[in-house]
Amino acid sequence: MSYSLFDLTGLRALVTGSSQGIGFALARGLAEHGASIVLNGRDRAKLETAAGQLKETGVTVSVSDFDVTDAEAVKRGVDAIEAEVGAIDILVNNAGMQFRSPLEDFPIDRWEQLLKTNVSSVFYVGQAVAKHMIGRGRGKIINIASVQSELARPGIAPYTATKGAVKNLTRGMCTDWAKHGLQINALAPGYFKTPLNQALVDSQEFSSWLEKRTPAGRWGDVEELVGAAVFLSSKASSFVNGHTLYVDGGITTSL
């Protein structure tokens, strides 16, 4: 049996927010299917540590520590990768943050920070990378959405708003860029064991609720996102565009 449809050999993937958590798991998974990797984040030391872990397994990896919430820094960083490392064939817009507070008391500065980190970064990096991809007539962009693109929970209304925006921005990117040979889709994780969710993982009350609420009856492991990411990065998804793929144990399908 041939698995060539899912082979990423010879392709380069830039994964934002990839020094840990979902971003690192996706970078490692894409590498295992043949891609070379560019890790991105703001903390150079953490990126170098993550890169070292990948290099131990024989992966071709480099790091780029630009701030995805700074449009000029993004442009400089992406242009530098293209000029010094090579063409970006796959972009995974993973950088994101969470902040929990009752909506009536939600701090304005945190609202603005969430918008910059979760929405503006997707636009900035997506635009900067797409300008190079359009010239080549091909490219894959995967925006990391969430089950909160569809659902809401108390205390995270602004986060929910940002992830709803990511879903619709993905549709908009498809509408503008599919004609240039690009495929732009979103990957929407459910509840996964990550540093971002550690407080919830550690809460017996929340974990018990989640296990009852999710048809699969458990938290997800980040490695379970890899197959969907490889699919959206590969030839296998050549006519999939503007789609949001939920990997959530069924939580968005059941009351």
Residues known to be catalytic? 159
Residues in the chain: 255
Are the C-beta atoms of residues 207 and 219 closer than 8 Å to each other?
A: yes
Tally Cβ neighbours within 10 Å of residue 64.
Answer: 19
Are the C-beta atoms of residues 181 and 132 closer than 8 Å to each other?
A: no
Q: Cα–Cα–Cα angle for 16, 19, 24, nearest 5°?
A: 80
Residue 75 corresponds to which tokens in the numbers above? 């442009």
Residue 109 amino acid letter: D
Q: Who's near 59: CB < 8 A, 6+ residues apart?
A: 28, 31, 36, 37
Tally Cβ neighbours within 10 Å of residue 95.
Answer: 22
Strand partners, 189: 247
Strand partners, 246: 188
